[in-house]
Structure 1
């Protein structure tokens, strides 16, 4: 078992914040949520990971197809030629894209999403190599009724208020899949405002299926 603790825990879905809150993870599931002292006392043998800032449910990025099938994420070895930002429009059209290259791009895109606290994407993925990359990563794929407004972005907090960005159910739904993220933002006052201002790039850790899949160096 592992206890993940932070300065503040936001369970989501309107639940009350928990100062000094923590999540107890067993395998791929959440066993308990509450004040760190209570969880540590009840499970003295559990491993403890201490994180700065605010622990929240993982994020749901609404731009799945736009970011993974309509944008190319350059290989670091291509940075001198293509830069480091996702390519779309004319820049994408100028590339010779094969299914293999789409798959590699999607894997890099998934890593970028994980580094922004994302645990699920919304929208149908039509390319087999892209869908395979997402499935292998463990990211959830959820349906969506319509394309979301605004330009596609890895920073979900730039597109939606934090309360609408969190994947459901809330973290205090014991037995739920252990998918959550931690953002290095001030926890003392107005944490939702702090998340919006700092953006999802402030993510220091992403846990997916109970596994630590991203940790900021």
Structure 2
């Protein structure tokens, strides 16, 4: 299934200046294209389009202990509310927490890598409001958090 994610602004990396008019085409769990929204909607007229307020970009890598919560699953979902879809292996050493992370497609990394939207890369996206609040998180192409 293909989904087009569009927002007023898009950044390819966390340090890029936000660019207006771009969108991300996701096929399955991969980024298929990052291009102007008009080009993508013309090329894929039947694609499902998700329009977000805020700035769309790569999801974050969480570099620290997972937020506290009553269960491992809730701790993982707390990451999604922050816009993170990856965590360092050193912070998921508890077997139940690691299982919850893997089950929810959280990338467990040996070291921090700079987040980036890359064509053919894993579709880990986040949308942030001007105040830094995460509005939506997509992990491996799947919408896992949307702020009400």
Separation of aligned partners in 2, 1:126 and 1:13:
27
Cα RMSD of the aligned pairs, angstroms, is 1.9
Map Cα deviations across residues 77-117 of structure 1 (whole Å, 9 max, x no partner).
xxxxxxxxxxxxxxxxxxxxxxxxxxx2x211111110110
Contact 1:9 1:19 in 2 (8 A): yes
How far is 1:143 from its partner? 1.5
Separation of aligned partners in 1, 2:14 and 2:81:
23
Partner of 1:183: 128
How far is 1:15 from its partner? 4.9
How far is 1:44 from its partner? 0.8
Partner of 1:212: 143
How far is 1:20 from its partner? 2.0
Partner of 2:10: 9
Q: 1:114 aligns with which of 59, 74, 80?
A: 80
What is the 5 A alignment of 1:85-96?
A: none
State the aligned residue count. Answer: 146
Contact 2:10 2:55 in 1 (8 A): yes
| Residue 67 in structure 1 maps to residue 66 in structure 2 | yes
Unaligned regions of 5+ residues in structure 1, if any? 75-103, 146-163, 186-197
Unaligned regions of 5+ residues in structure 2, if any? none
Partner of 2:134: 203
Map Cα deviations across residues 44-102 of structure 1 (whole Å, 9 max, x no partner).
11111100010010000001xx336xxx424xxxxxxxxxxxxxxxxxxxxxxxxxxxx
| Residue 130 in structure 1 maps to residue 97 in structure 2 | yes
How far is 1:34 from its partner? 1.4
What TM-score does the superposition give when structure 1 sets the normalisation length?
0.62
More helix by share: 1
Contact 2:66 2:76 in 1 (8 A): no
Contact 1:18 1:34 in 2 (8 A): no
Separation of aligned partners in 2, 1:114 and 1:13:
17
| Residue 26 in structure 1 maps to residue 22 in structure 2 | no
What TM-score does the superposition give when structure 2 sets the normalisation length?
0.89
| 3-state DSSP of counterpart to 2:66 | helix
| 3-state DSSP of counterpart to 1:115 | helix
